[in-house]
A = this chain, B = another copy of it.
């Protein structure tokens, strides 16, 4: 594809921005004349860069979460250093040479794998988002969070590398009648979740790689389950054990937590898939906009597969325009969308709305509440709005 064919070259109005650029004279400052810094064995970011994960100071930092600064994100990948994290008893330090994975229960051949065993097996890598079921849960309430990071930052996207769980299960020999498995972590709380075996046969990985190197400690080093498109807590970290069973084990983490309380007092259980969601990351809460040309950009993703369409509104949902989707659009991965815009300086409201390959359209909050009631914590995926003031400030609606 050549740039000349891209629609924005013909269609957008850059004039008002570019008119503001300086014209004419060459750069007076010729820059440094002295040698710069030396080469380094393991690089670090510039000291001018300050993007950070959020720390919730009111929680124990050993049973807490951090959020990706999505408002500062570019592209679709999340740097591993800024990937969101959530854990219930801190990040264990595990020597990979000592770590083992046991597969047992309803199998013909219970097996213990070392990391070295697993790394010799057929592996694959895939770019996928990971999202906490509680991401954007604050939006259920009356006072949404002020920034993209605080509202939607429990979602990130990486390249994950590992061995298909299906391969390990085939080797262990799953017995007739087995329909579920339980995955258990090696952290102090032994975080555990039940999963249907059918999902393992589809696309679950036992992963050791993230973004070209080993998993980061807070992402389960040296080994985690990775369950594409499903709520993050089932991608059990520091994975030590998989039990094959007839039914879910009803672990503490799937009964006391991670269920969706409905208006009538019953709870939805095992609501694994993360439904289609989108978020404008620029302009977003806490940022500042200037009149003139400004590209609206954001991220969309769906646990059901690929994003097919993203629409953007600059008038609070009265009218919508299609955003361009950055290629390649990958299944169960962040998809970057972009829409050209010229801000006239008047107060307005931005929204985005995505449609996934199943045809599912991201709902308005009212539609969600009509079905789910107002007692939910998890699985909020309503349309997110940002308000732009006449002073160019961006805030939540």
Chain A residues near B (Cβ < 8 Å): 1-4, 6, 8-9, 12, 14, 17-18, 20-27, 29-49, 51-55, 61-66, 72-83, 85, 87, 89-96, 98, 100, 102, 104, 109-114, 117, 120-125, 159-161, 164, 166-167, 170-171, 186-188, 190, 201-203, 208-209, 211-214, 216-218, 221-222, 238, 240-241, 290, 292-295, 297, 326, 328, 330, 336, 338, 340
Contacts and interface: CB of A to CB of B under 8 A. Distances in A.
Nearest to A4: B201
Contact of A111 (B23, B49, B164, B338): B23
Contact of A61 (B38, B43, B54, B64): B38
Given A48-B95, A159-B75, A36 B120 contact: no
A198 to B, nearest CB: 10
A58 to B, nearest CB: 13
A66 B92 contact: no
B217 A122 contact: no
Contact of A85 (B25, B39, B92, B190): B39
Contact of A9 (B20, B167, B212): B167
Nearest to A33: B188
Contacts of A216: 43-46
A333 B34 CA distance: 35
A17 B171 CA distance: 11
22 contacts: A2-B203, A3-B166, A8-B122, A14-B121, A17-B120, A27-B240, A31-B190, A35-B62, A37-B90, A38-B91, A43-B53, A43-B82, A45-B214, A46-B221, A48-B96, A51-B213, A75-B212, A77-B159, A79-B211, A79-B213, A328-B328, A328-B330
A338 B122 CA distance: 8
A52 B45 contact: no
B89 A27 contact: no
